[in-house]
Amino acid sequence: MWKNMLKAGGYVMILNELANQVKRASGSRARDIRRSRTTNLAIGAGIGAAVGVTLGVLFAPKSGKETRQIIAERTGETVENLREDAAAAKDKIYASVTEKGALLREAGHKGVDAVKETLEKTDEDKKVESKK
């Protein structure tokens, strides 16, 4: 009986080891496949970029000098437009601030006048009371 149990235990150990080897082999194969796919993707991207640059250079509508000149002109136009927009915004802000300043100044003068009138009335009232 003990012999049979030892034989069965040995078979279980052997089967367990075989199962572990199969797992390791399949994991290794999956890693190899992923590595191969990643390598192929990198190579394909590099080839695609090289072909794109080459075709871009070959079929460009203008020479490099002309293209740089166009870029410089458009950059200058954009900068000029930004300056004009900034100047217009500055003028608009200045006009708004001036208008608000005038309104505040007017309100301040009215407030000062109202305070003066109140003080004058208070002084008159005190004079009338002191005469009594």
Concatenated DSSP letters of 19-37: HHHHHHHHHHHHHHHHHHH
Range list of β-strands (E), 26-130: none
- pLDDT level of residue 111 (50, 70, 90 thresholds): confident
Task: Tell whether the model's pLDDT for residue 129 goes beyond 80.
Answer: no
For residue 6, what pLDDT band results from cuts at 50, 70 and 90? low
Residue 67 · residue 60 · CB < 8 Å = yes
Q: What's the rounded Cα separation, in Å, for the pair 70 and 63?
A: 11
pLDDT band at residue 90 under the 50/70/90 scheme: very high
